[in-house]
Chains A and B, each alone.
Chain A
Amino acid sequence: NAGVTQTPKFQVLKTGQSMTLQCAQDMNHNSMYWYRQDPGMGLRLIYYSASEGTTDKGEVPNGYNVSRLNKREFSLRLESAAPSQTSVYFCASSGGQTHTEAFFGQGTRLTVV
């Protein structure tokens, strides 16, 4: 069972470069999430998609865009990377209704220099 798969696992970018983080889930979940994790800050929600075709901003959406490509895939794009976006990024998915927990990907460690 693959669960939630994120790519890449590691990435180094130069300031101003763009990149897309990919996330796919094989659990037929409705909801998908992107978080960033920084020391002492916990997990902060960047964007989420409650269901296919919808996306909503979370706590820290500035500098990011998302695409819910289909039910399985939810990508996160950095159009012009900044050092402040150096972080560990986690994708998660859940059934989307209550009575279900979220499952997490392995994370992407992004460094912007």
Chain B
Amino acid sequence: AQSVSQHNHHVILSEAASLELGCNYSYGGTVNLFWYVQYPGQHLQLLLKYFSGDPLVKGIKGFEAEFIKSKFSFNLRKPSVQWSDTAEYFCAVIVYGNNRLAFGKGNQVVVIP
């Protein structure tokens, strides 16, 4: 079964700092990749997704992610974070032809004003 790895579970940043969250997956076939965000007390919302084409994907709220197939990675970035970006971020993978959607353990990001 596919697995998803996220490192540095807790990240603390100051406003205007840059953010990068790593995501690696274990499956070597064709995958669809997602980043979800969960604000305190809320459900998961889609931040961005990659299916095919340009490996640099832009999402909402200034987030972007880069798919590097050779590294099985899909890292999330934001050049300048805001206090409102305080949330938990989850990477997810679904394998082509298999409807099983697997999540990483998440990154808890705290942005200090």
Residues of chain A whose beta carbon lies under 8 Å from any beta carbon of chain B = 30-31, 33, 35, 40-45, 48, 50-51, 56, 58-59, 90, 92, 94, 96-99, 101-107
- Listed residue (B30, B34, B103) with the most chain A CB atoms within 10 angstroms of its CB: B103
CB-CB nearest in chain B for A54: B99
If over half of B's interface residues share one DSSP class (helix, strand or loop), that class is named, otherwise mixed; here it is loop
Q: If the complex has contacts A35-B103, A42-B104, A48-B99, are A98 and B94 also in contact, measured as CB distance less than 8 A?
A: yes
- Listed residue (B34, B44, B49, B96) with the most chain A CB atoms within 10 angstroms of its CB: B44
- Whether A31 lies near B99 (C-beta < 8 A) is yes
Q: If the complex has contacts A90-B43, A90-B44, A105-B43, are A98 and B51 also in contact, measured as CB distance less than 8 A?
A: yes
- Number of B residues near A (Cβ < 8 Å) is 26
Whole-angstrom distance from the CB of B97 to the nearest CB of chain A? 8
Q: If the complex has contacts A40-B105, A42-B106, A43-B90, are A101 and B46 also in contact, measured as CB distance less than 8 A?
A: yes
Whole-angstrom distance from the CB of A111 to the nearest CB of chain B? 16
- Whether B102 lies near A45 (C-beta < 8 A) is yes
CB-CB nearest in chain B for A107: B43
Instruction: Add 12 more A-B contacts to A45-B103, A98-B32 (CB < 8 A).
Output: A43-B44, A44-B103, A48-B100, A48-B101, A50-B99, A92-B101, A94-B99, A96-B99, A98-B97, A99-B51, A101-B34, A102-B101
- Enumerate 28 A-B pairs (CB-CB under 8 Å) in ascending A order: A30-B99, A40-B9, A40-B105, A42-B104, A43-B90, A43-B106, A44-B103, A45-B100, A45-B101, A45-B102, A45-B103, A48-B101, A56-B100, A90-B43, A90-B44, A94-B99, A96-B99, A98-B32, A98-B51, A98-B96, A99-B32, A101-B34, A101-B49, A102-B34, A105-B43, A106-B42, A106-B43, A107-B43
Bound together, the chains give a CA A39 to CA B6 distance in angstroms of 14
